[in-house]
Amino acid sequence: MSQRINMAPLSARRPIGFAFPGRFAWGGIDLWIQGVALLLTGLLVGRMARKLPVVPLTTGDSYAYQYLFNYRPPFYGWLVNAWQAVAGSVDYLPLAQLALVGIGVFVFAVELGRMLRSPLVPLLGVPVLLMHPGIHDAPSWMMTEAPFMALVLAGLAMQCRFVRRGGLDALLLAAACFTLATLTRSTGMAFLPLPLLAALCDRRVTLRLGALRAAASAGIAVVCVLIGMTWTWSRGGPFEIGSWAGISVLGKSLVLARPGELPLLPEPLATQVAEAADVSRQLTAEQPDLAARLRAQIQASSDVRYAVFWPAAETEWPAWAAADGRERDRLAKAISAPLIAAHRGEYLQMVANDWISLIIHPHYWPAAFTSTPAEPHRFAACAATETCWGIDRYDFPLFGLVPLFIVSVLGTLAALLLIPLAALPVLRRRGSPMLVLMWGGAMVVHGTLLATAAAEAGHMRYTVAPHAIDMMLLFWLAALVVRGRSGRGDLA
C-alpha cells in the first residue's frame, strides 16, 4: 500500500457529479445516498413481492438446474438445492431470489451514487433497474437471471468502490462476484477482465503493484472456476464449467437449412426440417414492419429447433435419441457448422437482426408502431405447443417504456463511441480510474451483445446485465456534463 501515489483521502476529494452545494458535508450526502437507495429499493421490492408466485415458474431449462445436469453451470443448481434442503421444497424460492436482487440493486445504487457523489443516482437508478422487464420478472422463474443479476450488480458495486478507494479488497470481491456469476451463467465470463483491467490501468499506483493486484484478482477467479469445474468432473462429467452453446446456435443454423444440406440427419427428418426452415424464412419476410420481422426471427428459432427438429429427432434419429446432453451439444455443433459456412451472409444478417433486437426490444414496441400476426398458428411452435414467446408483443406502461429505450439505445451508442475514443488513454494508464471502469463496461456491453446475438435469439432476458452497465455509462456522462458546466474539473 505504500506504493500508492496521488491517493487523496476521501474527505479531501470534492463531489463530482450532480453534487449538492459545498456547504453540505460528504457525510450528509452519503446519508442521503444510502437513505434514498434503501427507501426506493424497499418500496419497489416490496411491491414486487406482493405479485410473486409461491412456487417458481419453470421451463425445460429449470429442471437441468434443479437436477444438476452437467451441461449447465453449477452455481444456480447449488442455490436451488440448498433452498430445497432448508425449506423442504422450492416453495418461496421466488421470494428468496427477489431478496438477492434487492440486495444487489441496493449495494450497486449506493456505490454508484457514492462514486458520482449524488443522491440522484439511486433516486433514478433503482427504478430504472427494477423496471427492466427481464429483471422485474426474473425472481418468479426457476431460472438463472435473478442470482446472476444480483452477483453482477454486487461486482459492479465493488468496481465503483475501487474507483473511490483504490483498495485491493474491492477488486478481490469484484472478481469473486463475477466468477460466481460465470458459474451461474457462462456469459458472466465477459465481466472477469474488469478487475484485471482496473488494476493494470490504475494510474494511482505503479505498474508493478497494479500487476500484482491483477494477478491476485485472477487467482481468485481461477480458484472459483476450478472449484466449479472440479465439482462437475467429480460427478462423472467433463472438466468444464458447463454450457449448451451448440444447442443455442442450432436455433439459428437450422433456419438456414435447405433440402440436401442436412447430411447428418436421416430421412425423412432432414426434409422435414428443411421444409420447416423454408416456412419460417417466409413467415419472417412477410411481416410488415421491422419490429414484427425481428420478433418473427426470434420465433423461427423456436419453431424449427423445438417444434419440428427436437420431437422428430427423438424418434427418428437413433444417435440423437441415445445421446446425453453433452453428446447432443456436440451433434448440434456438427449440424450447425456446415450450414453457417454455406450461408455466411444470411447468418450474419440474422446475427445483426438479433443484435438490434437486444437494443430496441421489439416485444415492447407500442401497438401503434408494430403489428402482430393475424394467424399465429402458422408458426410451428404456436401451433404445436402454444409457445409464441418470439412473436408475442407486450403492452408496457409509458413510464417504463421511456427509460427502457433511453438506457438501452443511448447506452449502446455511448459504449460504441467510448470504446475507440478512450482506448488509448486507458491502455497507456493515463485515464482516471473512473474512465477505466466506464471503458471496460463499454467493452463488456458491446462484447456481450455481439456474443449473445451470434448464438442466441435476441430476447429481452439476455439484456439484464448490459442494462446495468448502460445505465452506469449514461449517469457518468450526465455527471461529466454537469461538472463541465460548473467548471469543477474533469472526470475522464
Residue 34 domain flag = yes
Residue 491 domain flag = no
The sign one gets for the Cα dihedral 185, 187, 189, 194 is: negative
Are 309 and 349 members of one domain? yes
Q: Range of 145's domain? A: 24-239+397-486
Check: CB of residue 468 under 8 Å from CB of residue 108. Answer: yes
Are 174 and 267 members of one domain? no
Are 102 and 187 members of one domain? yes
Are 169 and 304 members of one domain? no
The whole-angstrom separation of Cα 210 and Cα 160 is: 17
**Among the three residues 334, 352, 385, which one is the final residue of a domain in this structure?**
385
Number of domains in the chain: 2
Are 38 and 175 members of one domain? yes
Output the pLDDT for position 446.
Answer: 87
The whole-angstrom separation of Cα 310 and Cα 387 is: 14
> Which stretches within 50-136 are classed as H helix?
60-66, 75-87, 93-116, 120-131, 133-136
Residue 340 domain flag = yes
Residue 14 domain flag = no
3-class DSSP assignment, residue 221: helix
Output the pLDDT for position 71.
Answer: 82
Residues 6+ apart with CB under 8 A from 282: none
**444: how many CB neighbours lie within 10 A of its CB?**
23
Are 264 and 156 members of one domain? no
Are 42 and 84 members of one domain? yes
Are 291 and 315 members of one domain? yes
Output the pLDDT for position 394.
Answer: 93
Are 380 and 402 members of one domain? no
pLDDT string in tens for the chain (492-residue length): 333 333 333 333 443 344 444 444 667 899 999 999 999 999 999 999 999 999 999 987 898 899 888 888 999 999 999 999 999 999 999 999 999 999 999 999 999 999 999 999 999 999 999 999 999 999 999 999 999 999 999 999 999 999 999 999 999 999 999 999 999 998 899 999 999 999 999 999 999 999 999 999 999 999 999 999 999 888 877 888 877 788 889 999 999 999 999 999 999 999 999 999 999 999 999 999 999 999 999 999 999 999 999 999 999 999 999 998 788 989 999 999 999 999 999 999 999 999 999 999 999 999 999 999 989 999 999 988 778 889 999 999 999 999 999 999 999 999 999 999 999 999 999 999 999 999 999 999 988 999 899 988 888 888 999 999 999 999 999 999 987 766 555 455
Q: Which residue is associated with the grid cell 499506483?
A: 205
Residue 276 domain flag = yes
3-state helix, strand, coil in the chain (%, to 5): 75, 0, 25
Are 256 and 189 members of one domain? no
Output the pLDDT for position 271.
Answer: 96
Check: CB of residue 184 under 8 Å from CB of residue 220. Answer: no
Angle between helical axes of 433-455 and 464-486 (0-180°, round to 10): 150
Residue 105 domain flag = yes
**Among the three residues 354, 385, 416, which one is the final residue of a domain in this structure?**
385
The whole-angstrom separation of Cα 419 and Cα 440 is: 8
Among 424, 421, 472, 403, residue whose Cα is nearest residue 444: 472
Among 32, 193, 43, residue whose Cα is nearest residue 117: 32
Q: pTM score, two decimals?
A: 0.91
Are 252 and 234 members of one domain? no
Residue 16 domain flag = no
Are 421 and 285 members of one domain? no
Computed on alpha carbons and rounded to an integer, the radius of gyration of the chain in Å comes to: 24
**Among the three residues 327, 357, 385, which one is the final residue of a domain in this structure?**
385
Residue 443 domain flag = yes
